[in-house]
Structure 1
């Protein structure tokens, strides 16, 4: 078994509070308001694609928004399951809830797709990837997924794109409370309590607090018919999380506050190379804590400050004894400035400092320090749109790297738009790549990529946003683990890969029915070994439909995937259907019911690992009006 398999088995400023008061519902300056077509189309506002607020329909990069309604209707209870509905996204799980997982965005690996929580990096410094399966939807307000190469905005790890997760904010109303209790298959129990509102009469100070707990007995993670040494007992999961936000408006032009999210998970897992009676638990934590301030220096110039720390912890317990520890910390200091040059034209520039450290009992690694400067321009004139970004990252352990992004859009009329973009970016080696015993290589260099895409988009108040995108990303200097002749696999810059494809997406309405649909056809090729990239399907799609019928809200999801290679095996294609319904008992009380895997499909997301069979769940909820 190669090193990456063994290790995996063992183990924005604006987003962080950033847009000054009232900003996430509209732009901060009327002169810069998006100008495309009907207002109902433009109501959703996103920030990840440019680091500034813009209408979803105006984004040049392919951007998916999952808002609070999507989160409420999701069959999944964690962030990983929800983003599987986005175009270009595939997910894997090594078992049930909380298990080791992966996300592949346009064929990029988990380490090549950046995850932010309120603008804060929360990835493992060792693996270079974040634990999305530990982030529960109860704590979240919305998720934005940007497909494509945007390292010029966010630095290393954004080759495939960015998944940005936003926690809940307070409201400008008297404090309100909510609660939910759920029970279902595998003896699953979930409780959630929330409170949010204003602490003063003029709503200058707002807050939100959410706490949740989920416990499930689960199922056996590994099929003992494939791995006889795996423990056949069920593998359970316990998650306890809290999210909190406090924001205060000091003046009309200045506000600031704090955000906090912590999710603790204990996951029982199987070891295919252990003994049938072994008990293995992974104690995991994802934490994001930040202090932010936003202000207007002049009528045209706003500035934003962020001081934050993101943590990733993974401690393994084997038969009651802790056997490994991997605790990462990402400390960030960000200063961003937005200047309105003229109506429809905005310049942004800033500085970011990152201190990254790893505390492990498996190996020692020096702290990493990164100094970054970035600049960008977003402009609209007539039917033309332009986005240009450049970034320089200087690393303490291997030197510097530059990233570029150039995107252009042309509005043919009030509804149709064509766009094209080109980007160059990089991924810094992880601490495991550099320093892990016998396999790390301190002399390796960053992975590089070159990406191009072209798209056509239709947006209207009636149908929503439809988009068809053709893309290509070429990877060079890829880090692979090569046999050294002495029985070890050592990290080397020897890989080349190419991912070409077409993806389509639609998020909108057909009458009273909300529809979200996507498909991806791609050609993810490892050009070094002349084979498909591991765990990437050539064809996959999803469909989500929800409709309100008086006191009812009913819906369903259909997720399909073609066959995928998984090291020395092939995973068969699959299709999974989930159904849900909500009934409003009163204006405050409601009951939810859902059936996952309606047709009891037996399928794999990773070789030898089981997935849940048909399950039924019911939730009783209350919210103060």
Structure 2
């Protein structure tokens, strides 16, 4: 029996990083990833002009990672930690710079994802197989995106058709725990001058999984938990269609659907007749966008989006359904080095959960100003949201970047943010109708050095949240067990170091986070978040093979607010390789947790031990 209970030895990591430090580059500065990003200001922007802390993950990186979930890919990025109640398919939290999972605004092809029950996206619902690109913005962005973006924004994108003949692919993969995946798709362009682009994809994956709460981890009160393996089965598909009407007008439509059934362990299961507890997830997203360029200076974007998230359990029955509808009209006017923007947005939220059948709406006006010239870059944003339940709220942000030299760039920014209470927090038996929005205030500064393919970045930040909604003792709600209340205060502060560099044929990358996510009233460390964590990786080409290794390390965490339940620190070593075994066939293989480390990032819940994955993908050239 091996349970990680001691501190991970991270003291040596700064020394290891110092070896790579002058050789490193942050993900946001790697020009091979992309030339533009859209997440920072909700509009396409050159990487060189960014004054925000952004990371980008492309499809090649996703495939090389061998990850089975979006959260697993995010956990390899600077400033990101995750916690999961068992294996893939179970409840997953993503902490961006230590902030609560609900403090990250998440979009898929521009469609907002959220739960009006728990608050925040249900990460296990999102099929990684359909994701082509990920953009992560660290830092508040409510002045651009409205409610939810206290800790940051994560944008997910599906594949888009590219010029040339239709690109067809099919793949199969096999892994530990009798895991398999089948996938197929096609994308391309057709019509006069390739005016129509399309992408279709479908994916089926299944795993027998492992016991989420094995006997070695169970508390005496949980001795009757079922001993079964908690596997999962997922079917997902997406479609994306674009029409370039003419040189000035374009239409885009997206659709994604996924169905996930996964096993979990309830707190009590009859010993004589153990219950097979199951999660039943459904996710559907759809979006329609009209982009217009009226003059060389003036462009508009009109968008309608819809998402439906359903979560149910059986045989212990529970069901919660969230529907989100969005309307966006964005206007941009460029005058030389100046970019002016004005956006009208309407959001409609609805929740069905037990006796709750409620809805609300938010109307917003957002104004933006951008300036880029020579060594200077400036971004200013102001937004007013009017909520049908709690009234109006104003947020703002300012960011400035200055190129000290051709290679060295400094940035500073400040911003306010908020998150409206969920419908469940206000109208369930534990709810309080008078709850107010949670409010955040952030300041940060960064320095980035870039020379060719080499770059080094450092960002220091402090984000304070008040009116934090927590579950407390009995109060003005209908339940004597406890009620939601606006009494919490939290502080998320830290420093992120990141970089990469190519030495000969070897690509090096590294990140190191020092942070202190704490409860400002008790000075205790917030649950399930470590104060130190790091990732170091390298890959190279050898005789036609891509060969790589990465190390993920984290210090201890606590599983409770009182900081009495310790989750030990751990270090994971992962290996991966890929090669073209035939002209149109790619082989990928991955070995995760090489040392078979036994660790937890949620108390009493196991993670996978040593696992192997091998995949073949056919994609005619």
**For structure 2, which runs of at least 5 residues remain unmatched after alignment?**
1-28
What is the DSSP-based 3-state SS (H/G/I as helix, E as strand, rest coil) of the residue aligned with 1:590?
A: strand
Change over 3 Å in CA distance of 1:85–1:40 after alignment to 2: closer
Q: Distance in 1 between matches of 2:237 and 2:61?
A: 21
Matched, 1:157 2:153: no
For 2:116, which of 125, 138, 162 is the aligned residue? 125
CA distance in 1, matches of 2:285, 2:83: 24
Deviation per CA, 1:522-549: give whole Å up to 9, x if none: 1111012331111111001112322233
Between the aligned partners of 1:545 and 1:194, the Cα distance in structure 2 is: 31
Matched residue, 2:604: 608
Q: Which residue of 1 aligns with 2:256?
A: 261
Q: Which deviates more, 606-615 or 49-58?
A: 49-58
1:137 is displaced (CA, Å) by 2.5
SS of alignment partner, residue 376 of structure 1: strand
Of 386, 389, 394, the residue aligned with 1:397 is 389
Evaluate the alpha carbon distance shift between residue 430 and residue 100 of structure 1 in structure 2; reply closer, same or farther with a 3 A threshold: same
Q: Does 1:375 align with 2:367?
A: yes
CA apart distance, 1:71: 1.3
Matched, 1:515 2:508: yes
- Are 2:66 and 2:613, in contact at CA under 8 Å, matched by a contact in 1? no
The whole-number CA distance in structure 2 between the counterparts of 1:105 and 1:363 is 33
The equivalent residue for 2:327 is 333
Specify which of 216, 221, 224 is matched with residue 207 of structure 2. Answer: 216
CA distance in 2, matches of 1:511, 1:462: 12
- Tell me what 2:577 maps to: 581
- Residue of structure 2 aligned with 1:295, choices 286, 292, 295: 292
Kindly tell me: are residues 511 and 372 of structure 1, through their superposed partners in 2, closer, same or farther at Cα, counting changes over 3 Å? farther
Aligned partners of 1:85 and 1:518 also within 8 Å: no
1:411 to 397, 403, 406: 403
The 8 Å contact of residues 83 and 93 in structure 2, kept in 1 or not, is answered as yes
State whether structure 2 residue 197 is matched by structure 1 residue 202.
Answer: no
CA contact (8 A) 2:64 2:588 kept: no
Q: Distance in 1 between matches of 2:406 and 2:285?
A: 40
1:134 maps to 125
Q: In 2, distance between residues paired with 1:40 and 1:129?
A: 31
- SS in structure 1 at match of 2:72: helix
Contact 1:467 1:505 (8 Å CA) reproduced: yes
2:193 alignment partner, SS class? coil
Q: Is the 8 A contact 2:33 2:56 kept in 1?
A: no
Other-structure match for 2:473: 483
- CA deviations 1:460-491 (Å, max 9, x no partner) are 3221x421011001111111111127741111
Q: TM-score, normalised by structure 2?
A: 0.91
Indicate which of 22, 46, 58 corresponds to 1:55.
46
Conserved? CA contact 2:352–2:358, under 8 Å = no
SS of the residue aligned with 2:517? strand
Q: Would you say the 8 A contact 1:78–1:136 is kept in 2?
A: yes
**1:17 alignment counterpart:** none
Corresponding position of 1:308: 305
Mapped pair 1:243 → 2:238: yes
Mapping of residues 345-356 of structure 1, within 5 Å = 345-356=338-349
1:201 Cα offset (Å): 5.1
Tell me the matched-pair count.
581
Equivalent pair of 1:122/1:286 in contact (CA under 8 Å): no
Match of 2:265 in 1: 270
The two structures have a TM-score, normalised by structure 1, of: 0.90
Greater mean alpha carbon deviation, residues 379-388 or residues 218-227: 218-227
Q: 2:199 touches 2:240 (CA, 8 Å); kept in 1? A: yes
For residues 349-364 of structure 1, the aligned pairs below 5 Å read 349-360=342-353, 362-364=354-356
CA 1:41–1:623: 2 relative to 1, 3 Å: closer
> Any conservation in 1 of the 2:518–2:526 contact (CA below 8 Å)?
yes
Say which SS state the counterpart of residue 585 (structure 1) adopts. strand
Deviates more, 1:417-426 or 1:42-51: 42-51
Deviations 1:274-325 (A, max 9, x none): 434011111112221101110101110011111110121101111xxx6111
Aligned to 2:4: none
The 8 Å contact of residues 543 and 559 in structure 1, kept in 2 or not, is answered as yes
* Secondary structure at the counterpart of residue 73 of structure 1: helix
The DSSP-based 3-state class of the residue aligned with 2:507 is: strand
Per-residue CA deviation, residues 111-149 of structure 1 (Å, 9 max, x unaligned), is 111111111111111111112223233211110000011
> Counterparts of 2:618 and 2:127 in 1: how far apart (Å)?
19
The equivalent residue for 1:143 is: 134
From 574, 592, 597, the counterpart of 2:593: 597
User: 1:90 is matched with which residue?
Assistant: 81
Query: Match for 2:436 among 410, 435, 445?
Result: 445
Question: Is the alpha carbon distance of 1:211 and 1:54 closer, same or farther for their aligned partners in structure 2, counting shifts above 3 Å?
Answer: same
Q: Quick one: distance in 2 between partners of 1:432 and 1:528?
A: 25
CA distance in 1, matches of 2:543, 2:331: 47
Shift in alpha-carbon separation, 1:459–1:43, aligned structure 2, 3 A: farther
SS at match of 2:102: helix
Which has the larger displacement, 67-76 or 387-396? Answer: 67-76
Report deviation, 1:271.
1.0
- Tell which deviates more after alignment, 480-489 or 63-72: 480-489
User: Deviations along 1:474-525, whole A, 9 cap, x unmatched?
Assistant: 1111111111277411111111111221011224544433333211101111
1:173-184 counterparts in 2 under 5 A?
A: 173-184=164-175
Q: Specify the SS of the correspondent of 1:367.
A: strand
Higher relative contact order (CA 8 A, sep 6+): 2
